[in-house]
């Protein structure tokens, strides 16, 4: 570990020295003026179904503030990490392992302020090599983020989380990070570039934690804006604090990673799934300064729909990717929606003692492919559309025993996971899009709002109803035809 820290420190000093000889590149005063101010929030409930699962633990929520100029960056992160219950012998990779001993719980907060110095070592038309050393402070301990969390839980009528902090005070640690990325253009799509890249992140908080992550990614870039990026990587994590909550959290972080980043200029979405353990986390950010930049959008070559829908008296999150088909009014649609880790029984978690009764959680998701037809021209204030998609819907219910008193947890396992049930599904949807095309735009993106309603058809409704009967309140709502309705925001991207 000491050798690794020494290597990082030497590399950091070397790069900083290189930066000192490279400030001629930043002689323009504009290089020091911020171009981006992102304010974001993260939550484990944004865990895309079938890829990841929300167990209301580990990194449970976060707040982020990011200021970026060509010559420097500043990053402020506020993180809340929790452990509702753990026993010796349990494994994040296998929730069916039998544990022993007393139940352990806890939580801690982390506040970071980090300054970064970006450097483009090589930046040609077809290849780039980029690095950014980052240094600052991490404050770790009890910063009363539990008050913020439980206040929000009270507003949304969710069960409070009442566990003790690992320590009552706070400790301050130095943080030293290094990012290194190399990539090249493999294809051009109009004015955008399809880029293949390799990246490594070395994240070190001295005497607290160390993370090394290696990624391979493919992304769509236009005007230095990473519109869409899909990454696959592997994470190595070490813990040094002695906090049991940190050890459990880091156990969920180890192994293969899948991440997705979507950047419209104004709105940015970052999602990460730990494929071996199922832990997922999403962050939604808004770039305030993008509102003051001159838009370059002229026409949408691809679009993304983000929204929510009500089905089975549940709230699903919806994500759709659309590609217009030539000069027609048709678009190809790839759609997913998910209900991640919601309580199976209304009021169960607020009315029952989790030390005496298990928590039932449901995870439903759908992956569908189809087409959309828009009935009116793009200049209309209201544009009707119809959409049909077909694919698979996944049903899963878990029984979480991790908060049970060891005497009540007879199986001594963290979770009981029922086998997933699949349904062939078809969605029929009609909707209205509001705001004329191009009326609301920033950077290379436009924004429109939509409302919609429709039906989902499944082929095995009786089997699904039986599957859900004992563990949810949804069984009586299941039928061959299941109504749904919702609203969303459409983001169109100009690649020309």
Residues contacting 161, CB < 8 A, separation 6+: 56, 60, 82, 84, 107, 146, 149, 150, 153
Confidence at 18, pLDDT banded by 50, 70, 90 = low
pLDDT tens sequence across 311-327: 998 899 999 999 999 88
* Mean pLDDT, rounded, for 162-174: 95
Measured CA to CA in angstroms, residue 139 lies from 25, 106, 115, 175, 232 at distances of: 34, 17, 15, 10, 30
Asked whether the predicted pLDDT for residue 64 surpasses 80, the reply is yes
Structure confidence at residue 477 (pLDDT): 92
Radius of gyration of the chain (CA): 24
Asked whether the predicted pLDDT for residue 11 surpasses 80, the reply is no
- Residue 411 · residue 434 · CB < 8 Å: no
Confidence at 2, pLDDT banded by 50, 70, 90 = low
- Look up residue 128 and give its two tokens: 């780039």
The residue among 403, 400, 350, 397 whose CA lies nearest residue 55 is 400
Confidence at 23, pLDDT banded by 50, 70, 90 = very low
Cα-based angle 282, 63, 347 (whole degrees, multiple of 5) = 65
- Residue 196 · residue 215 · CB < 8 Å: no
- Look up residue 73 and give its two tokens: 């960056």
Confidence at 26, pLDDT banded by 50, 70, 90 = low
Structure confidence at residue 383 (pLDDT): 92
Structure confidence at residue 131 (pLDDT): 93
Structure confidence at residue 366 (pLDDT): 95
Confidence at 17, pLDDT banded by 50, 70, 90 = very low
Q: Which range, of 19-33, 42-56, 159-173, 235-249, averages the lowest pLDDT?
A: 19-33
Asked whether the predicted pLDDT for residue 21 surpasses 50, the reply is no
Backbone region of residue 144 per phi and psi (left: phi > 0; alpha: psi in -120 to 50; beta: other values): left
Structure confidence at residue 170 (pLDDT): 97
pLDDT tens sequence across 115-140: 999 998 888 888 999 999 999 999 99
- Look up residue 203 and give its two tokens: 């994240």
Distance, in Å, from the CA atom of 314 to the CA atom of 157, rounded to the nearest integer, reads 15
Q: Which range, of 9-18, 29-38, 245-254, 398-407, averages the lowest pLDDT?
A: 9-18
Distance, in Å, from the CA atom of 84 to the CA atom of 105, rounded to the nearest integer, reads 5
- Residue 344 · residue 361 · CB < 8 Å: yes
What phi and psi values does residue 433 have, to the nearest 5 degrees? Answer: -105, 135
Residue with more model confidence, 87 or 342:
87
Asked whether the predicted pLDDT for residue 283 surpasses 80, the reply is yes
Residue found under tokens 């504009």: 30
Cα-based angle 201, 203, 207 (whole degrees, multiple of 5) = 160
Handedness of CA 253, 152, 354, 469 (dihedral sign): negative
Distance, in Å, from the CA atom of 214 to the CA atom of 178, rounded to the nearest integer, reads 12
Structure confidence at residue 4 (pLDDT): 56
What phi and psi values does residue 122 have, to the nearest 5 degrees? Answer: -135, 135
Q: Would you call 126 exposed, middle or buried from its count of C-beta atoms within 10 A (0-12, 13-18, 19+)?
A: exposed
* Mean pLDDT, rounded, for 16-42: 73
* Mean pLDDT, rounded, for 161-186: 95
Asked whether the predicted pLDDT for residue 148 surpasses 80, the reply is yes
The residue among 291, 325, 319, 311 whose CA lies nearest residue 490 is 319
Residues above pLDDT 90, as percent of the chain: 64
Whole-structure pTM value: 0.90
């Amino acid at each position: 570990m000491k050798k690794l820290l020494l290597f990082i420190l030497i590399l950091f000093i070397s790069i900083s020295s290189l930066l000192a000889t490279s400030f001629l590149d930043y002689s323009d005063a504009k290089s020091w003026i911020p171009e981006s101010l992102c304010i974001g929030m993260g939550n484990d409930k944004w865990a895309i179904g079938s890829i990841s699962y929300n167990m209301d633990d580990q990194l449970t929520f976060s707040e982020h503030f990011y200021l970026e100029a060509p010559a420097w960056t500043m990053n402020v992160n506020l993180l809340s990490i929790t452990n509702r219950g753990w026993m010796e012998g349990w494994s994040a990779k296998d929730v069916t392992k039998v544990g022993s001993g007393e139940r352990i719980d806890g939580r801690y907060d982390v506040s970071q302020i980090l300054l970064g110095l970006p450097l483009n070592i090589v930046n040609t038309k077809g290849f780039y090599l980029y690095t950014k050393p980052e240094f600052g402070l991490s404050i770790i301990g009890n910063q009363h983020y539990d008050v913020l969390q439980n206040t929000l839980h009270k507003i949304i009528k969710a069960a409070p989380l009442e566990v003790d902090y690992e320590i009552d005070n706070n400790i301050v640690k130095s943080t030293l990070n290094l990012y290194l990325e190399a990539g090249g253009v493999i294809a051009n799509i109009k004015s955008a570039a399809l880029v293949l890249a390799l990246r490594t992140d070395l994240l070190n908080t001295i005497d607290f934690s160390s993370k090394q992550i290696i990624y391979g990614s493919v992304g769509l870039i236009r005007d230095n804006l990473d519109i869409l990026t899909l990454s696959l990587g592997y994470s190595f994590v070490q813990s040094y604090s002695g906090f049991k909550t940190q050890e459990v959290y880091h156990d969920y972080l180890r192994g293969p990673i899948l991440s997705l980043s979507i950047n419209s200029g104004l709105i940015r979405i970052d999602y990460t799934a730990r494929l071996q353990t199922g832990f997922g986390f999403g962050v939604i950010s808004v770039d305030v300064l993008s509102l003051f930049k001159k838009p370059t959008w002229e026409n949408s070559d691809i679009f993304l729909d983000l929204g929510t829908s009500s089905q089975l008296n549940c709230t699903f999150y919806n994500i759709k990717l659309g590609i217009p088909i030539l000069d027609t009014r048709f678009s190809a649609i790839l759609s997913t929606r998910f209900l991640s880790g919601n309580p199976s029984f209304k009021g169960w978690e607020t009315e029952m003692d989790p030390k005496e009764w298990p928590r039932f959680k449901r995870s439903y998701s759908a992956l569908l492919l189809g087409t959309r037809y828009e009935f009116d021209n793009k200049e209309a204030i209201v544009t009707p559309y119809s959409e049909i998609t077909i694919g698979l819907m996944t049903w899963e219910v878990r029984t979480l025993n991790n908060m049970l008193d060891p005497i009540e947890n007879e199986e001594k396992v963290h979770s009981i996971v029922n086998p997933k049930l699949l349904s062939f599904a078809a969605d029929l949807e009609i909707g209205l899009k509001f705001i004329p095309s191009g009326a609301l735009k920033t950077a290379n993106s436009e924004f429109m709002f939509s409302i919609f309603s429709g039906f989902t058809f499944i082929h095995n409704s009786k089997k699904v109803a039986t599957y859900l009967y004992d563990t949810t309140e949804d069984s009586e709502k299941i039928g061959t035809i299941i109504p749904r309705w919702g609203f969303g925001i459409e983001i169109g991207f100009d690649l020309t």
